[in-house]
Amino acid sequence: DADVTQTPRNRITKTGKRIMLECSQTKGHDRMYWYRQDPGLGLRLIYYSFDVKDINKGEISDGYSVSRQAQAKFSLSLESAIPNQTALYFCATSDSAGGSLAGGPGANVLTFGAGSRLTVL
């Protein structure tokens, strides 16, 4: 089984529908992230979570919400989908032990899921 599993892998929906993308991980990592990938724009951060009680907005959080149901589960919701939310969505995890907050650089290595392709018509 994959370390980071995303469901569904592909979804086509209509404008105004509510959509949930789910992510689960077996890495035991405390940090989880949702990114959106658009051609020519790279990956942009939607939300991130350091633990179950800590949720933070990323650079493009408008129109999205998240829930961290457990350390291993982090879901992304689109309450009312619109066509410009058509994109490839990635969940990722990292281990806080891989970063250093006290002097010197850290290395926040991300482990990604395979992606969820969402099309909003």
Which of 4, 32, 46, 72 contacts other proteins by CB under 8 A?
4
- DSSP string across 54-101: EEEE-TT-TT-EEEEEETTEEEEEESS--GGG-EEEEEEEE-GGGS--
Residue 16, interface with other proteins (CB under 8 A)?
no
Least distance between other proteins and beta carbon 118 (Å):
15
CA–CA gap between residue 41 and residue 18 (Å, rounded) = 25
Which of 12, 41, 82, 121 contacts other proteins by CB under 8 A?
41
Structure tokens at 96: 């806080």
Residue 48, interface with other proteins (CB under 8 A)?
yes
- Find residue 89's DSSP bridge partners: 36, 116
Closest CA to 118 of 64, 71, 42, 48: 64
* Sites for other proteins among residues 68-107 (CB under 8 A): 90, 92, 94, 96, 98-101, 104-107
Q: By rule CB under 8 A, what count of residues binds other proteins?
A: 31
Single-letter code of the amino acid located at 85: Q
Which of 8, 12, 79, 114 contacts other proteins by CB under 8 A?
114
> Which residues in this chain contact other proteins in the complex, by CB under 8 A?
4, 31, 35, 40-45, 48, 50, 58, 90, 92, 94, 96, 98-101, 104-110, 112-115
